Amino acid sequence: MNYIVFDLEWNQPEDGLKTEDRVLPFEIIEIGAVKLNEELDAVSEFNMLIKPQVYHSINWRIRKMLELKPGELEKGTPFPEAAGKFLEWCGEDHVFCTWGSQDLTELQRNMNYHGLPDLSDKPIRYMNVQKMYGVMNGIPSQTKALESAVDALGIEKDVPFHRAYSDAYYTAKILKLIPEEIRRKYKAYDVYHLPKNRKTQIKLKEGEKQIVISTAYPTKEALMDDGIFTALNCVKCSGKAVKQKIRWHSFNQRVYDAAGKCKEHGYLASRIKIKHSDAGDVYGEKATRYITEEEFLEMRKSLTKHKD
């Protein structure tokens, strides 16, 4: 099996529209990648500029960051051809690796826009090197910039930053420094295509924290009415449901919180983030963690105060 460490650069219009209202939120204009073998040694490279076909005016911030020369992108390869060459270069037996969680989604979104076959019709497992780097530093929620991580690790900066290939190059360098235990234990899934049903919904464990990503629902109300998904489950009791002591509530209709208590393992809290797929469906990301009695009482106090 090979590891495909890749990075994308993309353009977006300066039209004032919200990202979700654009025909294509981000148009990919460069793909850079490094192929690693099972020992995480580089064995091949991929680098390709892509000719814009949706947004021909390059956002000034993008042009400045990438230091693009006038007319450089017009000599690039059309996206369908570039994507085909990239996937052919990737080969069959591989796992994608990225710095952060957005690149794999944008690759699939651009492929869908151009009518190309799906990479998969279900969630794709990949390696989020940024997340693994945070775990290695004891801060799983850390979203450190790539160059800052390179500096912190003392990696030689022998390639300029902020181009697709160079960012993939440094991400590969960092991946090799991640302990094997973390690489093996911490999983990530791209959910451009959601789990097809409740049986295939995604369950991830991060220490004593559990994350569940649901299947698609037609509405937010339908999701929150699903008693199985919204159940409070004790991670240490193999997912055994516990009684809710603070029922599901929301202050903004996008994030819902609840809390309960396991007789053996104490208080726990769950948070559901409501998200929307490109297909127009609604899905939930539920994170459950253990909390102290003080945190539980503070949650109940906050809810009471909000109601008043």
Where along the chain do its domains lie?
2-185, 197-307
Contact 87, 4 (CB under 8 A): no
The per-residue pLDDT for range 189-214, each reduced to its tens digit, is 999 999 999 999 999 988 889 999 99
Contact 6, 97 (CB under 8 A): yes
Contact 278, 109 (CB under 8 A): yes
244: tokens are: 């809710």
Q: What pLDDT, on a 0 to 100 scale, did the predictor assign at position 181?
A: 95
| Superfamily (CATH H level) for 2-185 | Ribonuclease H-like superfamily/Ribonuclease H (3.30.420.10)
Largest Cα–Cα distance of the chain, in whole Å?
67
Tell how strand 244-249 and strand 202-206 pair up.
unpaired
Placement of tokens 């939930």 in the chain: 284
d(CA 18, CA 178): 37
Q: Which residues of the chain have pLDDT under 70?
A: 15-22, 307-308
Q: What pLDDT, on a 0 to 100 scale, did the predictor assign at position 68?
A: 77
Q: What pLDDT, on a 0 to 100 scale, did the predictor assign at position 217?
A: 97
Q: What pLDDT, on a 0 to 100 scale, did the predictor assign at position 275?
A: 97
Q: What pLDDT, on a 0 to 100 scale, did the predictor assign at position 17?
A: 56
Placement of tokens 């909390």 in the chain: 291
Q: Does domain 197-307 match CATH 3.90.1640?
A: no
pTM: 0.90
Cα distances from 149 to residues 133, 162, 177, in angstroms, run 8, 14, 11
d(CA 293, CA 131): 29
Query: Which H or E run contains 65?
Result: helix 60-66
